Amino acid sequence: MAVANTGILDMSAAITGAGHDARGRPDAPREILSGPLSDSLSGPRSTGWWGMVWFAATEATLFACFIASYFFLLGDQENFGADGGQPISLIRPLIMTLLLLTSSATMWWGESGIKRGEVGRLRIGLAVTFALGTIFLLLQAGEYASSPIGPGTNAYGSLFFTITGFHGAHVALGLLMNLFVQLRARLGHFTATRHDAVTNISLYWHVVDGVWIAIFASLYLSPRLW
Amino acid sequence: MATGVVERVDLAALTDRLQEEWHTPRTLYGWFATVDHKEIGKRYLVTAFLFLLFGGLEAAAMRTQLARPESRLFSPEAYDQLFSMHGTTMMFWYASPVLSGFSNYLVPLLIGSRDMAFPRMNAFAYWAFLLSGLFVYASFLGGAAPHGGWFAYVPYTSVQYSPGLNMDFYALALLFLTISTTGGAVNFIVTIFKLRCPGMSVSRMPLMLWSTLTASVSMIFALPALTAALIFLELDRRFGTHFYEPTLGGSALLWQHLFWVFGHPWVYIVILPATGMASMMIPTFCRRPIVGHTYVALATVSTGIIGFGVWAHHMFATGMPELSATFFSAASMAVSIPSGMQVLAWLGTIWSARRHVFATPMLFMLGFIVLFVIGGISGVMTASVPFDLQATDSYFVVAHLHYVLVGINLFPALAAFYFWMPKMTGRMLSERLGKWNFWVLFTGVNLAFFPMHVAGLRGMPRRVYTYPAHMGWDGLNMVETIGAYVTVVGVLLFIINVVLSLRSGRRATSNPWGASSLEWSVSSPPPEYNFAVLPTVSGRDPLWEEYDSLSRPAAEHARNPAPTRIPASSELPDWRVLADGRETLDSTILDADPQGVLRLPSETLWPLGLALALTALFSALLFRSPVWTIAGTVATLAAVVGWLWPTQEFWT
Amino acid sequence: MALAQVRAIYDGAPSALAPVATQAARLAALGWAMIVVATVVFIAVMAILLIPLWRRRGAPHTDSPPADVNEVGWVVYGGAAVPALILAGIFVLTLVTLRASDPPSDAPHAPRPLEIQVIGHQWWWGVRYPQYDIESADEIHLPVGRVARITLMSNDVIHSFWVPQLAGKTDVIPGRVNTTWLRADTVGVWRGTCAEYCGMQHAHMALSVIAEPGGAFQQWARQSRAAATAPVERTNAGGGADLCHAMRRLSHRERNAGGRALWTRSYTFCVATHNRWRNASNVRGNVAGWIENPDRIKPGTRMPAVPLNGEQLVAVVAYLESLK
Ligand code: HEA
Ligand code: HEA
Ligand code: CUA
Ligand SMILES: [Cu+2]
């Protein structure tokens, strides 16, 4: 259920994100009012990129609502998280955080490769990112398996599993996008000037990582601060 | 092309070529596959209007039941479904989509572009809107329509107290609709930011763009709260979680906060674009630019922003701390100030008009101002905490919400139909019938909704399927019901007018009202490519540019509108005639300097395919079928991949 | 309770603008103030709208030359500053009224507030007086002039407690305890109602507040408590004669299973009879039908039809009728 829902919500993100609804024309005219007209809309200025910015904003707001719900219940309900109110160990989530941060870096590295036309570097970057994301998901599965509580235990459990589950689903979706782009990279779709899809999934991936930081801070770190 | 100047424009050849590039085949395939924003806009309008009729019929049924005390026409269960579906339909499947319809049709024309930034997403948003609406209405077939009111408070809507499919229909249909609305919002934002024609810098944007933009950005940040609330609800109902279960650490108030964090911005989302349309229409009929353009733009944006900080005024009776109650009370009063600015800008425009043209749209605009003020002031009254403790959940609130919704949504929408339908269909609506339409509707609406203030203060709670006699409510309710019937007659007059116009309406010229914005520079209806030569503007009222220096009527002046006048060919840069495939111009966000050429996609069935796959998925979720859920998910993913797969034209 | 008196009061609307207690009177005063301000603002705006239309009536169909307009004057002063002042005034009124409707502080000589617990159920109100050890339903007895502290709890979904002539609403929310207070200044019976949609019979979830002089209240309390000490078995044995009153004293615990359903159902009905919410319709057949098959008359009550034998049914009906 959770996965399905996230999938749907982000599906639309993927549509603009990795889409090619809009793109530059190869033989676009050049001289215009304010200088040369770019014949490629790749890079941070394409309409697709802007579309992804707003989808990412709405997704991030969804997580903000989840996290706000967590703090609301924490402040409002005395019995919130009465048993199993906080995750046992910090080690695993810390490793997961590091994995995701690294994967953001590798994604960036791959993307900066294609900006110079190096498809090989892009493919390596994507592949490594994919691997790191996969390990992240496996670790999360491990955490679920060893958790003393479940989503049906109490409201704390419901929130914990929904938040991390939805995030996991976003990661999984990011991996699917990653695969899609890897395939296109292999087919030679990308050049130094035309790689909207890469820029867009990379933005998505960074946002998903950023969301994880927020989750880590609120679900894992903050209970230890008071 | 090296010089960047078109040596010689053969206009006939250019339009032929554009026609060929942009033509959607008039076949069954073309009908389902179209991505033309004008076609999609019209579909939005027709579909939203049908939902208005559904919602209106439900309202008429309710009013019939409530005409007399102790009426037993409908069972309580039926009545509960009627008011829930009425509110839900009106708020979600009528009020917002009808505005999306106008924006869809008008935004590309207003900004001098050939389509939206993401035409396929546009088509998808429409199909998803339609299918989600059919999905929620399918609930009537099983007699299990949502019955929790439009805001569906838990725990009444939890599985314990509402075990049927009713609330699952509600939650899933809304989740489905949310996808459509989010897609639409992103599309408007990017279109307005990036596709404006050269010269249309931010400060020259017509006010309708400001309001559409504000509403769309609000959607981006408001809808997730609804999504979260609905996800929690479905998980609680079906997967044994406890978000709303107080005994296990959840809270019934969590729903209320999430819902209203979404809900209040939503009520502005369903009026802001309408106020933007008003700011286009009123100046037209006053023959002068709006008074205080910049302030109105500012007021629009600040309404959107402050609107996020007032949600708890729907929860004054929940026993919240006095301090927070007073905060939300003050914020709710503060949010009235930008509305006051807008109203005074219209009043100032009317005051300093160069002429008053009492065409039907203008009548609806005058009615709109009257209703807006009444509804706005009753809102301010309920914003006062102690007053609200008496008014909340009584018919006083029902009066408030109809004055604002009917006043600031339905009236401007009808005005806009009268105003822009000639552009869309090429035929005028009857002015005579239009005036009847206005007066009947205006009378009906006031008869139907004004007495509700009194009934509410006299202690009549809302959402009651019947009421005892001799409470001092009988006469009021009878008047309300009569008013509702008069309203229905008003709507029928409108329908008749539209039908007559389509069959035999007077032909519309390109600018029948003498208005000032770009859509009036093209023929009625516009060609499929909108603009043969892409326009440029150098002011806020492009079609009135030379008007102020002349005392000729704007209408006369507008016959030779400057922006699309074809300059001598040696002046014409080649980016104004883009005709190699479906192309339009991409420009910078603030100054609208041309930046690139966008190639837009042509007809495709993938958006419809994706919407159908989602329908299958949501139906599978509704009936808890794991197999179909998986199938639906796979189909959805497949549709996305099919959609995204680059077509040959981009790689050759 | 004299039915005539009930009727006399119920024939008026349970109107927030016809307050019978200081608390509601303050709200009503605020209400009237707002209505006046609203009317003035409305008339002013209408004047600004209509004057130009009227001034130019019959003007020639040509455009007058463009005129300079003081945009800041219209939009900033007229649209923002003036409304801000009016709103500030309304806000001050709001604060003043809010302060004034706080529960009166416990003055040293004031009598201890009467504690009342009101429990929302689909679709009736349980009422407990912990100080007197009394339980009843759908009616609240108040001694005139004494502050009653009302503690609100829900047994199922959200309800809202509203007696417009005495005070504003307070929601009744599961998992939360809300409080409000009432003080009746005169003798009378007032209608209260559930104001938050709570399901099918939300419309019929009414209650009455009965304000009596202190002595009468004490007497009522004594009687009710005395009734509560009588053995429960007698009721169950089917002696219908005082079924209705006996029902009140069953404690929460004892009202389980069929007993509970019967209790609620008959009790709700007793009250209905008292208060003529079903006025003319409670003829014998209807009453019997109601008890036998509640769903037909008050659909959605979700109470199992309790099988009473004919004799018991007749007895209950006879009793209910004797209440008229
Ligand atoms: C179109 C949608 C719309 C709009 C625009 C508004 C506008 C406002 N609303 Fe309304 N509201 C609803 C739709 C809307 N509302 C709905 C649907 C509900 C009920 C939901 C439900 O329970 O089902 C509701 C309920 C609602 C409540 C809760 C009532 C309750 O349930 O107890 C409150 C309380 O504060 C409120 C306040 C306001 C305020 C202060 C404004 C302000 O924005 C109004 C501002 C406008 C003006 C004030 C008029 C113009 C100004 C002037 C002419 C200047 C001079 C004026 C003064 C000096 C006062 N609204
Ligand atoms: C945009 C929003 C909108 C609009 C336009 C309306 C329009 C109307 N509304 Fe509604 N209403 C709401 C939004 C809206 N409403 C909301 C949000 C609620 C709260 C719900 C809740 O509590 O959850 C509500 C609640 C509500 C109630 C309170 C129910 C209750 O609390 O028990 C009532 C009662 O009278 C009512 C009446 C009406 C009437 C008479 C109209 C009239 O204006 C309708 C006019 C009629 C039509 C527009 C259609 C006419 C039909 C035809 C002409 C048929 C033609 C047919 C063919 C050609 C096939 N509405
Ligand atoms: Cu209880 Cu409504
Ligand atoms: Cu609101």
Nearest chain C CA: its distance from B389 CA (Å): 5
Ligand 1 and B521: CB distance under 6 A: no
Nearest CA in chain B to A74: B249
Q: Return the partners of chain A (3 or more C-beta pairs < 8 Å).
A: B
Q: Distance from the CA of C179 to the center of ligand 3, in angstroms?
A: 17
Chain A residues whose beta carbon lies within 8 Å of the beta carbon of residue B117: 21-22, 47, 50-51
Residue A76 has its nearest CB partner, among B187, B251, B596, at B251
Chain A residues whose beta carbon lies within 8 Å of the beta carbon of residue B580: 25, 27
Q: Distance from the CA of A21 to the center of ligand 4, in angstroms?
A: 37
C124 backbone φψ class: left, alpha, beta (φ>0; ψ -120 to 50):
beta
User: What average pLDDT is seen over chain B?
Assistant: 92
Question: Among residues of chain B, what percentage have pLDDT more than 90?
Answer: 84
pLDDT value for A23 = 42
Asked if B644 lies within 8 A of A152 by C-beta distance, the reply is no
Do the beta carbons of residue B402 and residue B462 sit within 8 Å? no
Go through B265-304 and write b for each residue having 16 or more CB atoms within 10 A of its CB, e for each that does not.
bbbbbbbbbbbbbbbbbbbbbbbbbbbbbebbbebbbbbb
pLDDT value for C150 = 96
The token duo for A118 is 């190096």
Mean pLDDT of A54-82: 91
- Tell the residue number behind the tokens 């160990």, with chain if given: A89
Q: Taking Cα atoms as reference points, which of C251, C98, C85 lies closest to residue B389?
A: C98
* Best residue among B84, B305, B397, B406 to mutate for probing ligand 1, ranked by most atoms within 8 Å of CB: B397
pLDDT value for B648 = 52
pLDDT value for A78 = 82
Of the pLDDT bands very low, low, confident and very high (cuts 50, 70, 90), residue C155 is very high
Q: What is the DSSP string of B447-493?
A: HHHHHHHHHHHTTPBSS-S---SSSS-HHHHHHHHHHHHHHHHHHHH
Nearest CA in chain A to B581: A25
- Which residues between 131 and 150 in chain B have a beta carbon less than 8 angstroms from any beta carbon of chain C? 148-149
Asked if the model's pLDDT at residue B12 lies above 90, the reply is no
The token duo for B623 is 């009936």
Residues with CB under 6 A from ligand 2: B 52-53, 56-57, 59, 62-63, 83-84, 86-87, 90-91, 94-95, 149-150, 398, 401-402, 405-406, 409-410, 448, 462-463, 484, 487-488, 491-492, 495
Q: Supply angle C-alpha B48, B584, A40, rounded to 5.
A: 125
Go through C243-277 and write b for each residue having 16 or more CB atoms within 10 A of its CB, e for each that does not.
bbbbbbbbeeeebeeebbbbbbbbbbbbbbbbbbb
A81 backbone φψ class: left, alpha, beta (φ>0; ψ -120 to 50):
left
- Which residues between 172 and 211 in chain A have a beta carbon less than 8 angstroms from any beta carbon of chain B? 176, 180, 184, 189, 197
A–B CB contacts, 8 A cutoff, strictly below = 244
Do the beta carbons of residue B433 and residue B373 sit within 8 Å? no
Whether a cis peptide bond, with omega within 30° of 0, leads into B626 is no
In angstroms, what is the C-alpha Rg of chain B? 25
Ligand 1 and B533: CB distance under 6 A: no
pLDDT value for B578 = 86
The partner residues of C140 in beta bridges, in order of sequence, read: C209
Q: Taking Cα atoms as reference points, which of B409, B60, B373 lies closest to residue B269?
A: B409
The partner residues of C181 in beta bridges, in order of sequence, read: C149
Nearest chain B CA: its distance from A154 CA (Å): 5
Residue B228 has its nearest CB partner, among A16, A30, A66, at A66
Asked if the model's pLDDT at residue A7 lies above 80, the reply is no
Ligand 3 and C77: CB distance under 6 A: no
Q: What is the pLDDT of residues A120-170, one digit of tens each?
A: 999 999 999 999 999 999 999 999 998 888 999 899 999 999 999 999 999
Asked if A155 lies within 8 A of B593 by C-beta distance, the reply is no
Asked if B598 lies within 8 A of A23 by C-beta distance, the reply is yes
Chain A residues whose beta carbon lies within 8 Å of the beta carbon of residue B1: 27, 29
Q: What is the pLDDT of residues B533-591, one digit of tens each?
A: 899 898 899 888 766 554 455 555 555 445 555 555 556 777 788 888 888 888 989 99
Q: What is the pLDDT of residues B135-153, one digit of tens each?
A: 999 999 999 999 999 999 9
Asked if B392 lies within 8 A of C95 by C-beta distance, the reply is no
Mean pLDDT of B396-418: 98
Q: Does C78 touch chain B (CB under 8 A)?
A: yes
Do the beta carbons of residue B470 and residue C280 sit within 8 Å? no
Of the pLDDT bands very low, low, confident and very high (cuts 50, 70, 90), residue C238 is very low
Do the beta carbons of residue B537 and residue B204 sit within 8 Å? yes
- Which residues between 173 and 232 in chain B have a beta carbon less than 8 angstroms from any beta carbon of chain C? none
Asked if the model's pLDDT at residue B40 lies above 60, the reply is yes
Residue A82 has its nearest CB partner, among B220, B249, B250, at B249
- The protein residue with its alpha carbon nearest to ligand 1, atom 58, reads C83
Do the beta carbons of residue B462 and residue B393 sit within 8 Å? yes
Asked if A162 lies within 8 A of B232 by C-beta distance, the reply is yes
- Which residues between 346 and 365 in chain B have a beta carbon less than 8 angstroms from any beta carbon of chain C? 347-348, 350-356
> What is the complex's ipTM, to 2 decimals?
0.92
The Cα–Cα gap between B49 and B219 comes to 21
Q: What is the pLDDT of residues B178-194, one digit of tens each?
A: 999 999 999 999 999 99
Chain B residues whose beta carbon lies within 8 Å of the beta carbon of residue C277: 468
pLDDT value for A92 = 92
Q: Does B166 touch chain C (CB under 8 A)?
A: no
Of the pLDDT bands very low, low, confident and very high (cuts 50, 70, 90), residue B489 is very high
The Cα–Cα gap between B87 and A186 comes to 52
Asked if the model's pLDDT at residue C265 lies above 90, the reply is no
Nearest CA in chain B to A19: B644
B112 backbone φψ class: left, alpha, beta (φ>0; ψ -120 to 50):
left
Q: Return the partners of chain B (3 or more C-beta pairs < 8 Å).
A: A, C
pLDDT value for C284 = 40
Q: Taking Cα atoms as reference points, which of B443, B369, B438, B460 lies closest to residue B407?
A: B369
Asked if the model's pLDDT at residue C151 lies above 50, the reply is yes
Chain C residues whose beta carbon lies within 8 Å of the beta carbon of residue B393: 160, 162, 169, 195-197
Asked if the model's pLDDT at residue C62 lies above 90, the reply is no
Residue A77 has its nearest CB partner, among B5, B249, B614, at B249
C114-121 and C134-137 beta bridge pairing: unpaired
Q: Higher confidence at residue A186 or residue B651?
A: A186
Residue B463 has its nearest CB partner, among C11, C169, C197, at C197
- Which residues between 92 and 131 in chain C have a beta carbon less than 8 angstroms from any beta carbon of chain B? 93-95, 97-98, 101, 122
Atom of ligand 3 nearest to the CA of C172: 1
Q: Does A43 touch chain B (CB under 8 A)?
A: no
Note the helical H segments in C56-81: 71
Ligand 3 and C196: CB distance under 6 A: yes
Q: Distance from the CA of C191 to the center of ligand 3, in angstroms?
A: 14
Whether a cis peptide bond, with omega within 30° of 0, leads into C213 is no
Nearest CA in chain C to B457: C16
Q: Distance from the CA of C124 to the center of ligand 3, in angstroms?
A: 8
Q: What is the pLDDT of residues B614-627, one digit of tens each?
A: 999 999 999 999 99
* Lowest pLDDT segment from A64-73, A182-191, B515-524, C293-302: C293-302
pLDDT value for B430 = 97
Q: Distance from the CA of B269 to the center of ligand 1, in angstroms?
A: 13
The token duo for B215 is 């509403």
Nearest chain A CA: its distance from B309 CA (Å): 15
Of the pLDDT bands very low, low, confident and very high (cuts 50, 70, 90), residue A84 is low
Residue A154 has its nearest CB partner, among B249, B617, B621, at B249
Do the beta carbons of residue A41 and residue B139 sit within 8 Å? no
Of the pLDDT bands very low, low, confident and very high (cuts 50, 70, 90), residue A86 is low
| pTM confidence score | 0.91
Q: Taking Cα atoms as reference points, which of C43, C81, C54, C44 lies closest to residue B351?
A: C54
